[in-house]
Amino acid sequence: MKTHLGSDQLRGLMSTVNDVIVSYGGDSKRYSRDFQTKEEFKKSWYAVLSRAHASVEAKVSCACKGKGQKSLAVKYHSGGDTYFLARYPNTGSQHSPDCIFFTLDKDNSGLKCYTQGVVKDLKDGGYGIRLDVALASSDSESTSIVPIDNRNKSGGVSQNSMSLLGLLQFLWDDSGLNRWYPKMAGKRNPGKVFNLITHSAEKIKVASHPLSMHLLAGAYPSTPQETKNIKMTSEALMNKERLICLNVLSKYNPERHSNASKRLPIKFFSGVPVVLMNTENWASLEKRFSSEIANWRSGGNVICMAIGDLGKFKGKDTYYLKPLQIALMNVDENWIPADSSYELTMLNYLHKHERSFIKPLRYDASNNDVFPDFCLTDIGGHELFPIEVFGMDTASYLARKAIKESYYNERYGKDGWASWVAPAGPLPHLPDKGCS
């Protein structure tokens, strides 16, 4: 008997667990954060969720200060005899920004670029994702080592599948790693981050494949994760299945990390296959992920994800991965993604002022798709405060800038958002913090 933290509630480790209201007809009862989370109430909370799960009359809702019904579903995981709460599809934006169930609506992230069916809500509270690279070795292969680049295309709802970069950002988004509260300072480390990503992977299916059976997260030596990685790699090779390796690029060394390097340098390599590289692969990465490669070479932090076919070096117990697609993503020291060096500067500015915020992710969307670079979540109530980083002066970019300014002025009002014209312009004045 357990009450379980679903992926939404894992976010509660980094945001607010609000009261929950359970109703049967006209009879309603409110359950506090303590009742939901403290060990002394564990059996009682299990009974509440069990009854609500079994009743067709039960209605469960979140008591946060957001707008809308904020309905919640009670989910049951038979494998661990666990109950947990999950938000209904497309209701995340009804919750207040500091709530564990809050998510941006699709208009405020790159998720809006996908056609219907690329991301599906499953009955068990998980997601089905249509990936553009198959997880079985017998299936079709990727034609490019890097994800398709849609940044300069017209935009809109145009993508019929998700790239590896999109999947990486989906995992980051679902894990809440693109959100920040000052109270998180010093609490994120590789082990916790990889654990959050692993939890998110457990509820994602790619075609009929559970993503958790294919995802290898980085590991320290002599840990359970290292043992798990070795076992998964051996089984995947035997079953002719592909693996996805998630890691961090190791610190750049100009003497060792040239374009002639025959492996992708990763930091947490225990139990992880060697990701093979060649000069063509490096050239493709430099072209597609120029910002990420530049950040890495200047000492920054870069997440890497590679999917490919497995092999084993002759006469050795070492496995290798021949990559079909590789994705890179800049993050700051708090593991928050950034699309450019200017966004990394903005992240430092927000941290310096101890602000709470969310970083909307681009996925596979075009630069012509309009959504904020950052959103403050601490100005009070259910409101978001968008922040845009402008960093180029080409004619096409200035035209997009004008469109974005018009959009934000119309949707949020002239004082309802801020921008920074990088690198020469002054960093924006931020609104006062409100009461949530």
Rounded Cα–Cα distance for residues 36 and 18 (Å): 9
pLDDT tens for 54-109 read 999 999 999 998 888 999 999 887 666 789 898 888 888 899 888 889 888 888 89
Long-range contacts for 150-155 (Cβ within 8 Å, ≥24 apart)?
A: 150/113, 150/364, 150/365, 150/366, 151/366, 151/367, 152/366, 152/367, 153/366, 153/368, 154/366, 154/368, 155/113, 155/365, 155/366, 155/367, 155/368, 155/369
Mean pLDDT of the chain: 90
Q: How confident is the model at residue 267 (pLDDT cuts 50, 70, 90)?
A: very high
What pLDDT does residue 155 have? 78
Residue 199 in this model has a pLDDT that exceeds 70: yes
Q: What is the DSSP string of 285-325?
A: HHHHTHHHHHHHHTT-EEEEEEEEEEEE-TTSS-EEEEEEE
Least confident of 80-94, 214-228, 415-429: 80-94
| Class of domain 338-421 (CATH, top level) | alpha beta
Give the model's pLDDT for residue 127: 92
Could you tell me the pLDDT band of residue 153, with boundaries at 50, 70 and 90?
A: confident
Q: Looking at 273-287, 306-320, 324-338, which range is the least confident one?
A: 306-320
| pLDDT given at position 141 | 60
Cβ(218)–Cβ(284) below 8 Å: no
One-letter amino acid at 48 equals: V
Total-model pTM: 0.90
Phi, psi dihedral angles at 308 (to 5 degrees): -175, -175
pLDDT at 6 over 60: no
Between residues 103 and 322, which one has the greater pLDDT?
322
Delimit the domains of the chain by residue range. 2-94, 106-337, 338-421
pLDDT, tens only, 333-378: 999 999 999 999 999 999 999 999 999 999 999 988 899 999 999 9
